[in-house]
Homo-oligomer: A and B are copies of this chain.
């Protein structure tokens, strides 16, 4: 058991996966010699050689397209998009190809690839370094979508993603890479090492996809969150004094609907939180499912707290970000409904 930042945990997952399976290949823009602009692959090229960890031309479509070919060959590519905001040129390869290879060929060809990408705001990255495009993946049959919220999960889920026989989109909240963040952006940054969640299992210890994690038990209201927003939700619960039950979804597809349902049936109230724009965000799906599964238990409409329906602005970052006050307000409203 070692304490790691999220970056270290992701690096460690790569290392463990590459050591135990020759088929694991890691590449992307600035991923090789330099080790990635967020340093998530630092040291891998040195350790495993240029054939297994290398730099690519700046072509997201080329990165995912070649990864698909490699997967069809029998390798297990784990590739990086430098920012989620830059995955769009690869979207066709992800949606039309990776996601449907097994289906359209009835299993003749499969696509065990992982596409990692940093998501979310909080670094004053403006509209092209802040996006959270998870809903663009959850709508696509054939993809799995994972969002870890801490170093421990990041390592275990990434190991599982690399092992997975199907394409996995692995979204890494960049605001959490190097420290804890609960949405109180004006407070000093807290090191990961101070959190138990940075205690990462050594060696090969995958965490199965598809299982949510209860982060806080509570009786008043269920809060569904993932990634950075798990911590922000916990802060909002603390700030508001409302006894919220916080579920960290961890995997959006497949979704742990059982844990969600059980919790909402218990609390009778639900707030869904994400950083992506509200309209047609993944929160909409969560609301739809919750009201379907828990209708007769609901004592208030399910509320959503999300990014506004605008591009992610630069200077107004913290007005855009759905921080603890906005969540707390929603909790209040749901309690009073």
Q: Is A75 an interface residue (CB 8 A)?
A: no
Q: Is A332 an interface residue (CB 8 A)?
A: no
Q: Which of B91, B103, B292 contacts A303 (CB 8 A)?
A: B292
Q: List the B residue with the shortest CB-CB distance to A253.
A: B279
Enumerate A125-151 residues with CB–CB distance to B below 8 Å: 127-128, 135-136, 138-142
Do A138 and B285 form a contact, CB below 8 Å, given A88-B92, A291-B302, A311-B104?
no
Q: Is the interface of A mostly helix, strand, loop or mixed?
A: helix
In the complex the two chains form, is B284's CB within 8 Å of A288's CB?
yes
29 A-B contacts, Cβ less than 8 Å apart? A85-B96, A96-B128, A100-B311, A103-B310, A103-B311, A104-B127, A136-B139, A138-B279, A138-B280, A139-B279, A141-B279, A141-B309, A141-B311, A279-B285, A280-B280, A280-B284, A280-B285, A284-B287, A284-B288, A287-B287, A287-B292, A288-B288, A288-B302, A291-B291, A291-B301, A295-B298, A295-B300, A295-B301, A295-B337
Q: How far is the CA of A253 from the CA of B277 in the complex (A)?
A: 14
* Residues of chain A having any CB pair with chain B under 8 Å: 85, 88-89, 91-92, 95-96, 99-100, 103-104, 127-128, 135-136, 138-142, 253, 276-277, 279-285, 287-288, 291-292, 295, 298, 300-304, 309-311, 337
Q: Which of B88, B277, B292 contacts A141 (CB 8 A)?
A: B277
Q: List the B residue with the shortest CB-CB distance to A290.
A: B291
Max count, chain B CB within 10 A of own CB: residue among A89, A128, A304? A89
In the complex the two chains form, is B311's CB within 8 Å of A142's CB?
yes
Q: List the B residue with the shortest CB-CB distance to A134.
A: B280
Q: List the B residue with the shortest CB-CB distance to A139.
A: B280
Max count, chain B CB within 10 A of own CB: residue among A88, A96, A139, A298? A139
Top 5 nearest A-B pairs (CB, nearest first) are: A88-B92, A139-B280, A295-B301, A284-B284, A287-B288
11 extra interface residue pairs, beta carbon distance < 8 Å, beyond A287-B291, A292-B301:
A85-B96, A88-B96, A103-B311, A136-B136, A138-B279, A141-B311, A279-B285, A280-B282, A280-B284, A280-B285, A284-B287
Contacts of A285 in B (CB 8 A): 279-280, 284
Contacts of A85 in B (CB 8 A): 96
Max count, chain B CB within 10 A of own CB: residue among A100, A140, A141? A141
Q: List the B residue with the shortest CB-CB distance to A281.
A: B139
In the complex the two chains form, is B127's CB within 8 Å of A100's CB?
yes
Contacts of A283 in B (CB 8 A): 288
Contacts of A337 in B (CB 8 A): 295
Contacts of A135 in B (CB 8 A): 135, 139, 280
